[in-house]
Structure formats: structure tokens, C-alpha cells
Structure 1
Amino acid sequence: MINLSQRQKQDGRHTPDLWPVWLVAPGALLLVALAAYGLYHGTELLLASESTGKGKKPVSVQDVVKTTVTVLTLIGAVLAALYAYRKQLLDEGTSHRADATQLTERYTKAAEQLGHEQAAVRLAGVYAMARLADDWPEQRQVCVDVLCAYLRMPYETEPSEAAFRHGEREVRLTVIRIIRSHLQDPAEATTWCGRNLDFTGATFDGGDFSGSTFSGAEVLFGDAIFSGRVSFTGSTFSEGQVDFRGSTFSGGQVSFSDSTFSGGHVDFRGSTFSGSQVYFSGSTFSGGQVSFGGSTFSGGQVYFGTSTFSSGRIVFLNSTFSGSRVYFGGSSFSGGQVNLGLSTFSGGEVDFGLSTFSGGQVYFKRLAFSDGELSFRSSTFSGSRVDFGSSSFSGGRIVFLDATLSGGQVSFSGSRVGAAANIDWGPLPPVPANQP
């Protein structure tokens, strides 16, 4: 559990640094006495100087006293205002301390509810912690950390297992809904955009993050397990880092469709795609980097269809494609870089059919292609560079059928094409088989 004593500044300590009364009172009396003495003689001299002259009466002691009293009254009013201000500061300090005590008690109660055996009580704790985060800006990150930590706790999805808890799935889905609702508008006073979110190792058998804004913070999904339907549809990744490294997509569906990647780094390196459908369809990649380096695609499907790549990088370096379908069909590549170099294709399909390459670079350098299909059917190459340099094609099928080459460059420099490789060159000059 999060320890509130770890914070650098103790919240609620708003009492001003005031001098003790036993020191202030004598000092104030002394100052008043000196002021009265000085005012009396100063006023006497001033009035006396004004009265010197022909026809003017000499100043009387009564006039001097009257003027002195008036000035002292004014000084007293100023001192009274200062005292009232001091009292207000003390009252505000007392009020803030009371608020801080109440907030701490609310935190303790909500944390206790989150650990309760009954799902209904845990749900109440989730809502209480979220409301506390809205009311307590100084410790908002702590409250968010607690909710994220709840999702990281061991979670059994099979009802037949001893660790299974009835109602737990609804509690976890509620946590996700609350987090999503706080990531919709970065301008809101209670937004959680820009807050760190740590879901490392969590299990997601469902959840909706759609329309969220991930900007300026670290969002961690490393080593998470996605086995249900999880949506990031329409989300914005503009700054910071979203980390899915080492995650497992073994079933269900995860959607990033219609999202915008305009900066930062979304990292799937070392992930395993063995049975899920993962969608990036219709997304816009205008900056930043999305990395799948070292990932394994042994089943399921990953879709980038109808996406727009105008800048930034998407990287599959050193990945293994043995059974999945990775689909870029109908996408537009006008800038940036897509890199599948050093990858191994022993099955499955990577499809760039009907795509437009008008700029940027697509790298397949040092590819090891022994089975499966790589398709550029009906694509248009008008300005990009597509590079298969130093690759090895010992089997499988590569398709450029009905492609249009009006500019740009497609290079197989240094590649080895085996007799068993089935390559439909379309408009490209064939590279003769140069190995058995």
C-alpha cells in the first residue's frame, strides 16, 4: 500500500511562522511608546513652525495632543488590521489542517475498502479513492497509484480455480472505466492526463480506454496479459512513453484503431502475439515511434489497414513471423520509416496490398524468408524507397502483382533468391534465382 509519509512536504501545514506573544507584546508596547513620544514632539515642532509669523497664534498644548491622538488612532487602526490578518492566517491554518486530517482519514478508509472480501465494498472503495483523487490535488498521483496497484494484484479469471473471487471482474472493469473517464480531456481541473500509470504485469480480460489522451507521462503495460476485449480506439499518443514491452496477446481483441500517434514512444518490443486480434486500422502516425522489435507473431492478426504514415517510425526489427497475419493494406506511406529488417518469416502473411508509397522508407534488409507470404499486390510506388537488401528468400511467396512503379526505388541488392521461392515480380525486374 502507498505510504503517505513518504511525500516530501506534509500537506495541511498551513500555519504561518509567527513570533511568540511574550516577545511581540512588549515589543509592540515599546514601539507604541516611542512612536507616541516622537509624534508628540514632532507634531509640536511642526505646528510651532507653522504658527511663527505675523498675526498667527502660538500653538497650544491641546492642539499638539489632539494631532498626536489622531495620528496614534490611525496607527492603531493599521495595527488592528494587521492583527485581524494574523488571526485570519491562523484560522486558515486550522481549517487546512482539519481538511488534511479529513482527507487522510478518507484515504485510509478507501484503502481498507479496496482490501475487503466483498466485491460490493471493494467497488465502494474504488469510487471513494477516485473521488479523493479529485478532491486532493497534492496527493492525486498517490490515489491514482493505488488504483493502478489494484489492477496489478494477482487475478484469477477461471471460476474453477481456488483463487477466483466472485465480482472481481466487475471491480477491475470499474477501475479501468474511472481511469478512462479521467483521461478524456487534458484541460479539465481533475484530469489524470500527464499522470504516471503503472499496469506492469496486470491481467486484462476486458476494459475500455477508448478516447484517452496519453501525453507527457509514463504509462506502463509491460509484461501485461491481454486475453479479452480491450479498447484504446480513438486515443491520442502525443508525448511521453507508453510501454507494452514483454506483453502477451494470447486471445481476445485489442484495438488501437483510429488513434493518433504524433509523438512519444509506444513500445511493444519483445511482445508475443499468439492468438489475439490487434487493430491499428485507420490510425495516423505523424511522429514518434512505435516499436515491435524482437516480438513473436505466431498466431492471430495485427491490422494497420488504411493507416497513414507521414512521419515517425514503426519498427519490427528482429521479429519472428511464424503464423500471424500482419496487414497494412490500403495504407498511405508519405514519410517516415517502416522497418522489418533482420526479421524471420517462417509462415503467416504480411500484406501491403493496395498501399501507396509516395515517400519515406520501408526496410526489409537482411530478411530471412523461408515460408509464408509477403504481398504488395496492386500497390503504388511513386516516391518511397523499399529495400530488401542482403535478404534471403529460400521459400514462400512474394507478390508484386498489379503493382505500379512510377517513381521511387525497390531494391533487392545483395539478396539471395532460392529456386523454391515463388516471387511474382509484377512491374519489377526479376532477380534470378542464385541459390538452390
Structure 2
Amino acid sequence: MALTLRRREAPRGRYTPNLWPVWLVASGALAVTLLLGWSIYQFAYDYFARAAADQKPAKPVNVNDVLKATVTALTLVGAVLAGLYAYRKQLLSEGDAHRADASQLADRYTTAAEQLGHDQAAVRLAGVYALARLADDWEEQRQVCIDVLCAYLRMPYQPDSDQADHKAGEQEVRWTTIRVIRDHLRNPAAPTSWCAYSLDFTGATFDGGDFSGSHFLGRVLFHRAVFSSGEVSFRRAVFSGGGEVRFDGAVFSGGVVRFGGAHFSGETVFFYRAEFSGGEVSFEHALLAGGAVTFERPVFRGTVFSWGPLPVPAGAR
């Protein structure tokens, strides 16, 4: 009997309830109902018997009253059980809806990831927008979607159109990816803000891009990133929240990188062993309000700097 009553374990990954056989449940329910009904009947009979004995003169027990009380009590118990069953059914329905949503979101993720790997630039662009919309809709996996977009920018990239491994339209896809990320960093109070999430651009190549007005509240990595050409803008960006932004080992070999009007408040931006070998880097009108910009063991060769209020590190000009 113990083996019969023991519920079988559901296979891993299955959500269908593993219920007992109908005949067993029906028999058990009938037995419990009869036992409960008999117990209520006995209790009600004893109660009415004591009440009848206390009367002067004593009266016999009215069986009809006992039966009515028993039926009323059973009806109340049945109503409670029905409510519990309805509640359980609602929980199961909500669970089904949640799993359906999760499955639909996972399918969207798979589709967007496949689009990012497509040969045609237009399809890759669609994948960028699809993944950004998915991040907005799927808060539980928002960081994963952000990581995929950052990983796309970390992929090998040849900006020179004369080289054999250059991809047509890839520059537009990458600039669009940066713009999509920036748009989610401009309003920290937005429900779909990415400001407090981690961003990893380690080893990425930037030949342009606009991060202007972004609020960096989390950890942002530009380790060994290469700023080779074009203009990368951090104008009016806000570095706050106690996190850190690291340009450790970054290479500024051409183009223009602007931090004009950036606000450093409660966050440190590190340029450890960064290499400045060409182009222009501007910190004009940057504001230091509790934050810091730290240069440690940098290499300065031929880069034009505009420092504004920042202290000029040794070796820079």
C-alpha cells in the first residue's frame, strides 16, 4: 500500500503535475467524507442531546435538526475545499502562463542571437534592435542581453574597407549597437534603464560611436579597447554611483575621444597603462565632484590633449 500511495517523481524538466490515479483519489475522498460526516453527526447529536436534557421537561433529540446541522457543516467544509481547489487551479494557470512567457522570451532570444550572426548587415541590425527590445521586456535576463550586445562589439573588426576581412555595413551595425546602449543609459529613472548594469567592452575596436549623456552607475570595462579612428564621444557623460570605469591598457591610436562636460562624481575612471599614441583626447569642461580620473604608468606619444580642470599627468602635453 505504501508503494501505491507514494507519488512517482516527475521527470526532470517536466512541469505536468504527477497526480494519483482517479480511482484511488475518489475512494479516499469518499472515505474521508463519510468519516467526517459521521464525526460531525456524532458531535451534533451530543450537542442537541445535552440541550434537550437541560430543558424542563426533557425532550427527545430531534434527528432532523442533527441532520440539518451535519449537512450545513459538510456544505461549509465543501465550500472551503472548493475555494482551495480554485486557488490551486489559479496557481497552476499562472505557472503555465509564466512558463509560456519564458518560452516565448527564450525563442525571441534565440532568434535575435541568430540574426546577430547573419552575413547581411541589415539582418544584424534587426538583431541588435530585437535584442534591445528583449532586454527591456525580460528583466530577469536583461544582463545577459546586454552582455551579448557588448560581446558583439568585442568581436574581431576590421574598419579598413580595403582589407579582405572587412565586412560591408559592419561599421553601421556597430555604431547602431553603441547608440542603442547609449539610449538605455541616459535616464537612470527609466524602468528599462541599463545604467546600473555591467558593460564589458574589453578589447573592442572603436572607430566612432556616441556615448554622450550616458550615466555609468555600474562597472564598465574598456580593458585593452582600441580607439583607432573617428570620434568617440563621452560628452556630458555622468560617472557616479560608486562603481568604476576602467580604460586599463586601452590604446588611443587615432581619431578623437571627447570627455567634454563629463561629470565625475563618486566614481573613479582608471587609465592604468593606457597608451596614447595619436589622435586627440579632450577633457575640456569636465567636472570633478567627488570622483577621480587616475592615470598610472600611461604611455604618451603624440596625442593631443585638452585637459580643462583636470591635473595634467607627467608626460602628457
Report the alpha carbon displacement of residue 50 of structure 1 after superposing the two structures with TM: 2.7
Q: Residue 4 of structure 2 aligns with which residue?
A: none
Report the alpha carbon displacement of residue 28 of structure 1 after superposing the two structures with TM: 4.0
For residue 194 of structure 2, the aligned residue among 192, 195, 201 is 192
The 1-side partners of 2:187 and 2:26 are apart by: 54
User: Secondary structure at 1:276's aligned position in 2?
Assistant: strand
User: Secondary structure at 1:80's aligned position in 2?
Assistant: helix
Residues 1:56 and 1:190: Cα distance change in structure 2 (over 3 Å): farther
Contact 1:265 1:289 in 2 (8 A): yes
Contact 2:263 2:287 in 1 (8 A): yes
Residues 1:225 and 1:150: Cα distance change in structure 2 (over 3 Å): same
Report the alpha carbon displacement of residue 58 of structure 1 after superposing the two structures with TM: 3.6
The 1-side partners of 2:25 and 2:142 are apart by: 40
Q: Deviations over 1:29-69 (max 9, x none)?
A: 44333321211111112222233222674431111111111
Contact 1:119 1:166 in 2 (8 A): yes
2:166 paired with 1:167: no
Q: Give the partner amino acid of 1:237.
A: F
Q: Residue 38 of structure 2 aligns with which residue?
A: 37
Contact 1:14 1:96 in 2 (8 A): no
Q: Which ranges of structure 1 fall in alignment gaps of 5 or more residues?
A: 1-12, 308-313, 326-436
Higher strand share: 1
Q: Give the partner amino acid of 1:261.
A: F
Seq. identity, %: 56
The 2-side partners of 1:315 and 1:103 are apart by: 49
Mapping for residues 238-257 of structure 1, pairs under 5 Å: 238=240, 239-257=242-260
The 2-side partners of 1:50 and 1:256 are apart by: 91
Contact 1:15 1:90 in 2 (8 A): no
For residue 280 of structure 1, the aligned residue among 280, 283, 303 is 283
2:250 paired with 1:262: no
Contact 1:248 1:272 in 2 (8 A): yes
The 2-side partners of 1:95 and 1:194 are apart by: 29
The 2-side partners of 1:254 and 1:56 are apart by: 103
Q: Give the partner amino acid of 2:84.
A: L
Q: Give the partner amino acid of 2:177.
A: V
Residues 1:124 and 1:56: Cα distance change in structure 2 (over 3 Å): farther
Q: Give the partner amino acid of 2:219.
A: E
Residues 1:231 and 1:28: Cα distance change in structure 2 (over 3 Å): farther
Contact 1:230 1:254 in 2 (8 A): yes
What value does the CA root-mean-square deviation take over the aligned residues?
Answer: 2.2
Q: Residue 339 of structure 1 aligns with which residue?
A: none
Higher helix share: 2
Contact 1:278 1:303 in 2 (8 A): yes
2:307 paired with 1:299: no
Report the alpha carbon displacement of residue 92 of structure 1 after superposing the two structures with TM: 1.8
Equivalenced residues, count: 300
What is the TM-score with the length of structure 1 in the denominator? 0.65
Contact 2:287 2:309 in 1 (8 A): no
Q: Give the partner amino acid of 2:231.
A: R
What is the TM-score with the length of structure 2 in the denominator? 0.87
Q: Any runs of at least 4 consecutive aligned residues in structure 1 with deviations exceeding 6 A, and if so which?
A: none
Mapping for residues 24-173 of structure 1, pairs under 5 Å: 26-51=27-52, 52-54=54-56, 57-173=59-175
Compare 32-41 and 105-114 and name the one that shifted more: 32-41
Q: Deviations over 1:336-385 (max 9, x none)?
A: xxxxxxxxxxxxxxxxxxxxxxxxxxxxxxxxxxxxxxxxxxxxxxxxxx
Residues 1:25 and 1:245: Cα distance change in structure 2 (over 3 Å): farther
Q: Residue 223 of structure 2 aligns with which residue?
A: 222
Q: Residue 20 of structure 1 aligns with which residue?
A: 19
